[in-house]
Structure 1
Amino acid sequence: MTALDALIPFAQTGRIGAARVGAQLKDVIAALGEPWAHGASIGADGLPYLYAYGSLEIATCQAHCQVIESIAIQTDLPTMEWPTREPGRAATFPGYPTYGDVLRTLAQAGCRWEEYEPLSLEGQCAIRVPASDVILVFEDADEFQLCNASVAQHRPHTCG
């Protein structure tokens, strides 16, 4: 498996198995097992609201509903860890996908993208996949490298 084998389906759909914006954290845990790590910040219910499965990070509502509000994949690591279909197991592969490799693989998959101006700044550029609303951010090194792929909820929800 390569980083792009994991990232392109995410870019196309905005989901990773059960992990999708609007899903319940409990459904992700049922599919992937307990998160491997969680953030130190806690919500109103005393539970953390950032959970991680290696390079995959899931942020939930800061209240008791634990609805997934965003998903981010950290790709700026020498080695990425990725949950497999077997709960608690990880696949590893090299990080740092390049801009050219990502665009080439998106094109091969028939996945349309557009420049994302709000995050295209000096030293970085970003693209957005309209079909999924996934945003991919690249930082300039020797060549632009993917540092993050994410999708977030744009409409606030109410819980209670």
Structure 2
Amino acid sequence: KMELVTPGQKIQSEAGFLRGHGTYVKDGGETLVASVAGVVQRVNKLVSVIPVKSRYIGQVGDVVVGRVVEVGQKRWSLDVNSTQTAVLMLSSVHLPGGVQRRRTYEDALNMRQLYCEGDLMSAEVHQFFGVSLLVCFLVSFFPSFLLSFFPSF
């Protein structure tokens, strides 16, 4: 049976449960309450709420579309609509002309000529560190452009 709950809704008031993600305890530890809107999931004594809407959690091998939000020291920070920050290292991109060589100080200075804030790119998640950082390799690049939509009244 699927049980849909909203934030603040009582889930369980019996003793002997374990509090999982999306829940908190109220009334001195006797009542379990939902902290997010979602579906209640019970696994043995563990009670969790799986959110109806959640953000992407990266896995190695995933291909993501990201928007460059910052150009930093030998890396681009990407917004991939994730709980984690995604980065694309300068050493992970192909240089103009397909040149295969070590990245130099001049390459680091000219990073904005390759990709700048607002550019969209498709990247593959290469590795991740804990819950905070995704490291990506470039798959393809889409330069920034403006779309105009005109309503038809």
Give the TM-score taking structure 1 as reference length: 0.22
Name the one with the larger helix percent.
Answer: 1
* Higher RCO (C-alpha 8 Å, min separation 6): 1
Give the TM-score normalised by the residue count of structure 2. 0.23
